[in-house]
Amino acid sequence: MSIDTLRADFPILARQVHGKALVYLDNAATTHKPYSVTDRIVAFYENENAGINRSLHALADEAGTAYEAAREAVRAYLNAHSSSEIVFTSGTTESINLIAATFGEAFVREGDEIVVTAMEHHANLVPWQRLCNKTGAVLRVVPIDESGVLRLDSLEELINGRTRLVTVTHVSNVTGIVNPVSEITAMAHARDVPVLIDGAQAIAHHAIDVAALDCDFYVFSGHKIYSAAGIGVLYGKHHWLDSLPPHHSGGGMVTSVSLEHSHFERAPLRFEPGTRNVAGAVSLEAALEYVMALGMEEITSHEGALLRRLEEGLREMKGTTVHGEADRRCCSLSFNLDAAHPADVGMVLDKLGIAVRTGTHCAQPYVDAIAGKATIRASVALYNTRKDIDKLLDGIERAAVILR
Amino acid sequence: MDLSQEHIITEMQAREDWMDKYEYLISLGEQLRPMDPALVSEDTAIGGCQSHVWIAAETINGRMRFQGDSDAKITRGILAVVLSIVDGRSPADVAGMDFICLRKIGLSSSLSPSRAEGLAAIISRVRELGARSSSE
Ligand SMILES: Cc1ncc(COP(=O)(O)O)c(C=O)c1O
C-alpha cells in the first residue's frame, strides 16, 4: 500500500496548523485514528450501545459479544494463551497501578525488593515508589551506561532472594532504545522472579508475542496504537492474575454479595468492575485490524528507516546532540540543539507546522542522566513520510539560525 | 529600542512570517533590562512554563517597576512585551490589565495554560503582583 493512500485514512493529517501543512511527529504521546477506528466507535453507539454483563436484552447481548470479541482480538494480537489473560483497563498507567496495588497486597512485604530501571516513564516508577513506601519494601534500580542503555550486568546482581518483581519498559519513550526484554525475562525467571513489561512504546511499532517473551505481565495503551484513548490492556499469565486480589471493587466483579461478604469473579472480570468502556474496546480491535492489514513487519521497517534518516541528518548537522546510542531504536529519538533552549526550538517548529515534544517526557531521571536538561523528542508512526523527516531537519536548521 | 506598546504592535504586524516575528521578539528579549541576580529565586520563579521564568516587581511612588528573565529566548521576548505593557503603571491598573493588545500581535492563541511559552502563567503572576501591591 502506498503511503499517500494510507495517509488518506487519517483525516487529521490533512489539517493545517499556523497556515502550514501539519507534520505530526509526536506519536509517542498519542497517535491519530484512521476512519476505520472512528467509524467503529460511531457504529457502536449507533447500533449496539448497552451496559454489558448485566441485562438480558438484545443490545446488552450484542455489546457484550462485541466486548468479548475485542478481548479475543487482543489475545490473538499478543499471542496469549487465553482471553481470560486479557484485562481491559483505561491504559498503561492504570494497568501498572493495578499490578502495583494487587501484586503488592498479595506478595510484597517489608524488606522485599522490587527491581525497576533508570529508564522508566514515571508511570512505571512512581507506583513502585509508593508501594515501597507503603510496605517497607526496597526499590532497586538497574542503572544505564553512558549510551543510555540498561546495564544487564547490574540487573544480574540486583536480583536476589528478596526480589519479588522485575518491571521494565520494552522501549524507552525518550531515546526509543529497545530493551532486550526476552533476555531480561529469562534472567529473572532463572531466579523465579516474575517480570512486568511496559509496552506503551512498543505496541504500535513491533510485533508482540507474550508467549515467546514469556513475560508474566505486559501492559499497553490503546491510544498509542491508533485506537481511542481511555482503553488499555493488562496481559497477565493466568496463574498470576488468578492469584491477585481485586483492585477496585463494585458491580460486575463479584459472583455473590451479602451485606457482609462478597465472592469475587475470576480474572479478568475480577479486575473489571463498573460499566465498561465497550466503545474503547471495539475501537482497539479495529485499530489492531488496521495494523495487521498493513503488516507489522512492514511498519517496523518503514519507521526504522525514518528514524535512521532522522538520526543521520541530526548527526550531520553541526551543534546538535542525539541522546543515547543503540543498534535498535523504535518510534522515538531525543536530541538537542546545543545552543538553544528546547522550548524555543519547540515553539519555532510549532509555527512551521511541526509537532514534536519538548521537556523531560515524564521520564525525568532518565532525561537528567542522559541529557542533563530538557530535550526535543521526535517520534514516528506508520503514516509518517520521508518528507516529514526532511521538513523536521529543515525546521531544526531554521531554528538554529533564529536562536543562534 | 522603542518598547512602547504601539511600536511593538506595529512591528509585529509588519512581519507576516512567524519566523520574522520570533526574531523580533528575541531582539526585544535581548533589550530586556537585566534582572538583579539577587531577585532570581524560588519566590520570583513561575511554574507552568517549560523554561525558567522569573518576575519581580517593586512599587515606587505608586508606580510599579518590573524586572524579569527567562532562560529561553522567545519566552524572554514575550516577557519583554508583557512587562512593557505594565511597567510604570499603578498597581490597580496592573491587577486589572486585560492584555488585549497581545491578541493584536498574535500571541493570544498562546494563552492556554499548557502552552510552552507559559504566557498565561506570566500574565497571572503579573496581575497577582499588581493585586498584592495594591492591597499593601
Ligand atoms: C513508556 C511509557 N509508559 C507508560 C506511559 C503511560 O501511558 P498512558 O498515559 O497511556 O497511561 C507512557 C505514555 O507516554 C509511556 O511512554
Q: Note whether A3-27+296-403 and A38-293 share their fold.
A: no
Buried b (16+ CB within 10 A) or exposed e, B64-101: bbbbbbbebbbbbbbbbbbbbbbbebbbeebbebebeb
CA nearest to A268, candidates A220, A235, A315, A232 = A235
Residue B113 clears pLDDT 70, i.e. is over it: no
Q: Which residue of A has its CA nearest to B18?
A: A351
Note the CATH architecture for domain A38-293. Answer: 3-Layer(aba) Sandwich (3.40)
Interface ipTM? 0.89
How buried is A14 (Cβ within 10 angstroms: 0-12 exposed, 13-18 middle, 19+ buried)? exposed
CA distance B81 to chain A (A): 16
Q: Please name the member of A18, A347, A352 whose beta carbon is closest to the beta carbon of B117.
A: A347
Q: Is residue B2 very low, low, confident or very high in pLDDT (cuts 50, 70, 90)?
A: low
pLDDT of residue B103: 81
User: CB–CB of B18 and A351 under 8 A?
Assistant: yes
Residue A44 identity (one-letter amino acid): F
Cα dihedral A146, A150, A156, A158, rounded to 10, equals: 90
Chain A residues whose CB is inside 8 A of the B117 CB are 343, 347
Domain boundaries, chain A: 3-27+296-403, 38-293
Cβ–Cβ pairs < 8 A, chains A and B: 48
Q: Which residues contact B95 (CB under 8 A, 6 or more apart)?
A: B127, B130, B131, B134
Q: List domains and CATH numbers for chain B.
A: 5-134 (3.90.1010.10)
Question: Under DSSP, is residue A151 helix (H, G, I), strand (E, B) or coil?
Answer: coil
| CB interface of A with B, residues 72-101, below 8 Å | none
Per-residue pLDDT of chain A (404 residues; tens, 9 = 90+): 677 789 999 999 999 999 999 999 999 999 999 999 999 999 999 999 998 877 889 999 999 999 999 999 999 999 999 999 999 999 999 999 999 999 999 999 999 999 999 999 999 999 999 999 999 999 999 999 999 999 999 999 999 999 999 999 999 999 999 999 999 999 999 999 999 999 999 999 999 999 999 999 999 999 999 999 999 999 999 999 999 999 998 888 888 888 888 888 889 999 999 999 999 999 999 999 999 999 999 999 999 999 999 999 999 999 999 999 998 899 999 999 999 999 999 999 999 999 999 999 999 999 999 999 999 999 999 999 999 999 999 999 999 999 98
A340 close contact with B: CB closer than 8 A: yes
Q: Give me chain B's average pLDDT, please.
A: 88
Residue B111 clears pLDDT 60, i.e. is over it: no
- The position carrying cell 503514516 is A383
Alpha helices in chain B (DSSP H): 5-14, 18-31, 73-86, 91-95, 101-104, 119-134
Average pLDDT over residues B68-94: 93
A185 close contact with B: CB closer than 8 A: no
Q: Facing residues of A140 across strands?
A: A115
| CB interface of B with A, residues 40-99, below 8 Å | 49-51, 71-75
Q: Which residue puts its alpha carbon closest to atom 14 of ligand 1? A: A29
Q: Please name the member of B19, B74, B116 whose beta carbon is closest to the beta carbon of A358.
A: B116
As given in the structure block, the three cell numbers for residue B17 are 512570517
Q: What are the φ and ψ backbone dihedral angles of B70, each rounded to 5 degrees?
A: -150, 150
User: CB–CB of A402 and B19 under 8 A?
Assistant: yes
* Residues of A taking part in catalysis: 362
Question: Under DSSP, is residue B65 helix (H, G, I), strand (E, B) or coil?
Answer: strand
Residue A319 Rama label (left phi>0; alpha psi -120 to 50; beta): left
H/E run at residue A220? strand A217-221
A348 close contact with B: CB closer than 8 A: yes
Mutation site for A-interface testing, chosen from B22, B23, B49, B76 by largest number of A Cβ within 10 Å: B22
Report the CATH fold assignment for A3-27+296-403: Aspartate Aminotransferase, domain 1 (3.90.1150)
Q: What are the φ and ψ backbone dihedral angles of A257, each rounded to 5 degrees?
A: -135, 125
Answer whether 0.90 is exceeded by the pTM: yes
As given in the structure block, the three cell numbers for residue B20 are 520574522
Question: Which atom of ligand 1 is closest in space to residue A362's alpha carbon?
Answer: 14
Q: Residue B120, Cα to own-chain centre: how many angstroms?
A: 10
A292 close contact with B: CB closer than 8 A: no
pLDDT of residue A252: 81
In tens, the pLDDT along A210-268 reads 999 999 999 999 999 999 999 999 999 999 999 999 999 888 888 888 888 888 888 99
Maximum CA extent, chain A:
71
> Within 6 Å (CB) of ligand 1, which residues are found?
A 91-93, 121, 123-124, 169, 173, 198, 200-201, 221, 362
